[in-house]
A and B are shown apart, each in its own frame.
Chain A
């Protein structure tokens, strides 16, 4: 009995030890490049820089993080470069939905499977906004107005998340919109305030200030459940008071990935190191504050679950984009 127990213990130790030792032994030996596949000032860039700030402020890592923007070709440049850096453990990549949309829209030789998924940090929400002076206060009224007169939806970039949501609305309701691409989320929100477009699907953080100033009105949130933040943002409303689009009769759901990837061919121990690092980042008050401000969906995933989620989302993007005619012909 004792022998068996010892044997089992030794076996368990034998199996567990190498992994444990490897996990403890690896840590970055050079500064870590944090690649942002978008320009400075956007949502992904902001998140990367917050992480950089948190890591240095709380001394979470011996080596510094250096944020590098590679916005070329809607992120194509960043993806191809990370793909080419096989086995380099000192590169992190933060992604947005262009992880799926850019390869499909431009036909560059890249898929997310070319990278090593590390963790989903959060999901960014999308809300259907209209000008506060517009006559429609509900989703059905808005859709009726759009049926009567073709309305314009403003969004960030082309053939990316905002336009995909617009296409999904058309698919769900049969109502056509004119989609007008702008450079960044802030510009989109202001275009709506200035009535240059009739609706937008801005992220909460991009439009919140105009909502609070009484210039914009949220109609519904493109998530399966309402936003969790119950603190009043305007006189009468909190994020949690905005109904989901499905509740309002518009059956469209869309969330944007804020995830971390590494180059292909890195070891398990290296992935595990960054998973641990990100867990510590998430526990800091600065991170909690960012999540609260942006009303993020704080779902996090790692490992196989994350991969399964990525597989599902890629398929969904392919379907939506193919139907809308957004996929590059080869």
Chain B
């Protein structure tokens, strides 16, 4: 195949010792950036971008994209250990990852997370290697109605099955939408719900809210429960990695499904965060009932979001390279970088800069392998952090959370907002309101609303636009089915009971 030759050429570029060294540096930096909440991949790449001026474009993009892979790996670490998502796409990882850590299975959760990240990325890279033009063409079909349908599907797959009280889930979702409304309305260009204050113009940043809800909320709960990490004293060594690996092949179907969800969401481009939520939701719905329910430390709950997030994060580079549309905030910064190095992203890049494109693709393979090895070796160390006494670590977490919240927008007000969200998170936990729907609505609310209103503008207010072609129509229909699944299954159950009675 044509691609193989090009890819081998790319490997020759990426295997240059200098580029390999940059790869390792990039991954390590990325993991650190991913661990620190607030200092996301986008910020990290943006800060280092000017330093790459003196490198060749290929070396520069290898360094920067490796930071991105590193951040994707690193985001899972704090989610699992402390219930603080280092990156938006690792929020869903906390749902089962943190309970696992509490049960002393931190190393197992970390290994599963890292390995699934790698699997997701690998599937995405293979896709980029062989079907890039096809996929880029598919992405072009996604206009506002299709985009809304995808967002709707993400909500439906996550919320439809609600384990707790449906009313509480609904209330948490609506609160999330309300918070997402604050700030500039991107469709009319006017301010909403800012009450004339300057601080609220920015709106509530999703990361600030999440750091507060999860991080601070967790600390408050831990303090109440007696200043200790429960069950964090498991024996930790590298053999955990081997034992977890022996188990992982059982979940191949889950991994494949999550990878596909991730690739699809990355290409459309919806991004890694909705991909992780959607994948988690679908995994929870389709899973066989096991001894451990989801949300209480089930390994599938770590595999699904991590695989999808990494697959989406990787495939998000495809629309960036092939169309010039960033699939994620980090991709947006990389896009700026490409232009700075004199490369014009878009359809012509594959033709005119084949060396660059294939060098980058080859570096994705290598970078992820290097990353996996680095983080797996470090698993025992990461897990050992949990042995530090809570009184010490809690103070550290507070500091890291505050710095994280400040870094998102360089604003003091956000630190206050974070603390308020912390109290809110604690209260919601005590009153048994689910946090996840609120977070989901906050992160996707704006984009969903915008896609809906763009569709309405372009169809002059006709809702039929959501069924105007097979693509958008089928996504919407699947979404509606998922949303009403509990009702549908109840009705089906009732009918079969009726039938059984009649027969009997």
Chain A residues in contact with chain B, CB under 8 A? 39-42, 45-46, 49-50, 52-54, 56-57, 67-70, 72-74, 76-77, 80, 101, 105-108, 152, 157-160, 163, 178-184, 186-187, 189-191, 193-194, 196-197, 205-206, 208-210, 212-213, 215, 286, 289-290, 293, 326, 328
Contacts and interface: CB of A to CB of B under 8 A. Distances in A.
A196 B143 contact: yes
B365 interface: no
B335 A41 contact: yes
Nearest to A187: B325
Interface stretch (B19-27, B169-177, B212-220, B342-350): B342-350
Interface residues of B, number: 53
A73 B336 contact: no
Interface string B86-112: 000000000000000000000000000
B332 interface: yes
11 contacts: A46-B339, A54-B53, A56-B53, A73-B191, A76-B201, A80-B201, A158-B187, A181-B187, A186-B324, A190-B139, A286-B53
Given A45-B336, A215-B347, A293-B344, A70 B410 contact: yes
A56 B340 CA distance: 14
A69 B43 CA distance: 10
Contact of A50 (B54, B332, B340): B340
B280 to A, nearest CB: 26
The 9 residue pairs across chains A and B that have the minimum distance between CB atoms: A209-B346, A72-B202, A41-B332, A159-B189, A158-B189, A196-B143, A73-B201, A213-B347, A53-B50
Interface string B176-195: 00000001111111110010
B189 A77 contact: no
A182 B468 CA distance: 21
Contacts of B326: 41, 184, 186
Nearest to A104: B189
Given A77-B201, A209-B324, A40 B183 contact: no
B184 A70 contact: no
B126 interface: no
B191 A106 contact: yes
Contacts of B324: 186, 189-190, 206, 209-210
A196 B50 contact: no
B80 to A, nearest CB: 28
Contacts of B185: 158
Given A53-B340, A105-B190, 12 more contacts: A41-B336, A46-B336, A50-B340, A56-B51, A67-B46, A106-B190, A106-B191, A106-B201, A159-B188, A181-B187, A193-B323, A209-B348
Contacts of B473: none
A74 B184 contact: yes
Given A72-B183, A181-B187, A209 B345 contact: yes
A328 B194 CA distance: 14
B42 A40 contact: yes
B457 interface: yes
B458 interface: yes
Contacts of B203: 72
B235 interface: no
Given A49-B50, A52-B50, A181-B187, A108 B347 contact: no
Contacts of A39: 329, 332
Interface in B106-122: none
B201 A184 contact: no
B201 A209 contact: no
Given A40-B332, A106-B191, A293-B344, A196 B458 contact: yes
A101 B339 CA distance: 27
A49 B202 contact: no
A293 B53 CA distance: 17
A40 B142 CA distance: 23
Given A40-B332, A213-B346, A289-B342, A183 B186 contact: yes
Given A52-B50, A53-B49, A194 B141 contact: yes
Given A73-B184, A108-B201, A182-B454, A212 B336 contact: no
B144 interface: yes
A83 to B, nearest CB: 10
A101 B188 CA distance: 13
Nearest to A52: B50
Contacts of A183: 186, 450
Nearest to B46: A40
Contacts of A68: 410
Contact of A106 (B50, B144, B184, B346): B184
A189 B335 CA distance: 15
Given A77-B202, A293-B339, A326 B344 contact: no
B409 A70 contact: yes
Nearest to A185: B324
B128 interface: no
Contacts of B190: 105-106, 159, 328
A213 B454 contact: no
B198 interface: yes
B357 interface: no
Given A157-B189, A209-B324, A209-B348, A41 B142 contact: no
B339 A193 contact: no
Contact of B457 (A108, A178, A286, A328): A178
Given A57-B53, A108-B201, A180-B454, A213 B42 contact: no
Contacts of B140: 190, 193-194
A317 to B, nearest CB: 13
Nearest to A328: B190
A69 to B, nearest CB: 8
A73 B344 CA distance: 29
Contacts of A205: 339
B336 A194 contact: no
B14 interface: no
A41 B54 CA distance: 20
B49 A181 contact: no
B267 to A, nearest CB: 12
B333 interface: yes
B183 A57 contact: no
A116 B46 CA distance: 27
A70 B184 CA distance: 13
Nearest to B140: A194
A41 B183 contact: no
Contacts of A213: 346-348
Contacts of A286: 53
A99 B213 CA distance: 35
A293 B335 contact: no
Nearest to A193: B140
Contacts of A157: 186, 189
B46 A180 contact: no
